[in-house]
């Protein structure tokens, strides 16, 4: 990896982290279900699926795919926050909400990646 490519990955991740912070702030007043994490995880999964399809068709270079998937999608999505929020929900006695969050993130995230991949390829 060249220094310029590494810098591009870092910048894309930083921009995406700011987007994630804005989404989190937008949903901050909503209590009950961790919507912000679901939104960024599904969006990032969809973007990743689309980029993967574009890379397969050679419409996107492997370097750009790395910047978009590892940098941007990696900075946007958040497994660690989903994990912490799930533990907090279980600790607060909200097992159904915790399970719904995990199921939603996995099902909708995988679905978004697959649908975006199929739609673009």
Identify which has the larger pLDDT, 28 or 82.
82
Confidence of residue 31 (pLDDT cuts 50, 70, 90): confident
**Residue 12: per-residue pLDDT:** 98
pLDDT for 89 equals: 97
**Each residue of 39-73: pLDDT tens digit?**
999 999 999 999 999 999 989 999 999 999 999 99
Residue 120 parent element (H or E): helix 95-120
User: Residue 29's pLDDT is what?
Assistant: 85
**Tens of pLDDT along 64-85?**
999 999 999 999 999 999 999 9
Interval 81-117: pLDDT, tens? 999 999 999 999 999 999 999 999 999 999 999 999 9
Give the pLDDT score at 30.
84
CA–CA separation, 29 and 53 (whole Å): 36
DSSP per residue, 4-64:
HHHHHHHHHHHHHHHHHHHHHHHHTT--SS-HHHHHHHHHHHHHHHHHHHHHHTTSS-HHH
What pLDDT is attached to residue 73?
Answer: 98
With a cut of 90, say whether residue 5 has pLDDT above it.
yes
């Amino acid at each position: 990896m060249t220094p310029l490519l590494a810098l591009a990955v870092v910048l894309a991740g930083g921009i995406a982290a700011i987007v994630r912070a804005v989404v989190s702030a937008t949903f901050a007043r909503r209590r009950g279900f961790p919507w912000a994490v679901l939104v960024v995880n599904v969006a990032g999964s969809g973007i990743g699926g689309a980029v993967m399809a574009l890379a397969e068709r050679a419409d996107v270079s492997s370097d750009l795919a790395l910047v978009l998937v590892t940098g941007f999608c990696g900075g946007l999505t958040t497994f660690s926050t989903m994990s912490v929020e799930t533990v907090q929900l279980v600790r607060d006695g909200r097992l159904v909400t915790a399970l719904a969050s995990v199921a939603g993130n996995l099902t909708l995230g995988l679905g978004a990646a697959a649908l975006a991949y199929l739609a673009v390829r």
